[in-house]
Amino acid sequence: MNTTSVELNILQKHFNNILKRLWNRYVKLNRIISFYTYLCLKYGILPKELYNSTLTLKKNKVKLEETDSSILEKIGSPKVKWSSVESFVKAVSREVKSAQNTETILNFIELIVLRNLLKGQNIRISTSTFTKLLKLHQELLEEKDI
């Protein structure tokens, strides 16, 4: 196993931990916004795309898993629940921040980038995003050593 796969594994565990916390938050508190945030991160959908979409998201051609789509049917689409795209995007972004560790410096878009990188997709990122990912990686390595 080379260093790159070990590093990606550490980041993957971190990303999965964020998803798990969001899912647990949704189940425990029954907060609908937590579930929407979970969908956005799990499927790599930006909040605007989820807000304007139905079960099958046309732009990204994402088919939700059966469990996720049945929950979405039950709680209703964001478009029905929210008065505007902007308020929905703000709510999802706030939820992502609250789900992250306080030390973690990635924002919603950067989490989507991280998700795509972990799936092995080539993606262009800015220097600042790259620096943040390096800092996060260092934090996680230090936590692992403790």
Q: pLDDT, tens digit, for every residue of 56-67?
A: 655 657 788 888
Pairwise CA distance, residues 142 & 146, whole Å:
6
> Which of 13, 104, 48 lies closest to 36, judged by CA?
48
Q: Which domain holds residue 25?
A: 3-145
Entry pTM: 0.79
What's the DSSP call for residue 65? P
Map residue 104 onto helix, strand or coil: coil
**Predicted confidence (pLDDT) per residue in 34-87, tens digit:** 999 999 989 888 888 888 876 565 565 778 888 888 898 899 889 888 889 999
CB atoms within 10 A of CB 107: 15
Q: Tell me how many domains the chain contains.
A: 1
Any bridge partners for residue 57, and if so which? 62
Integer Cα distance of 62 and 38 in angstroms: 14
pLDDT given for residue 88 in this prediction: 93
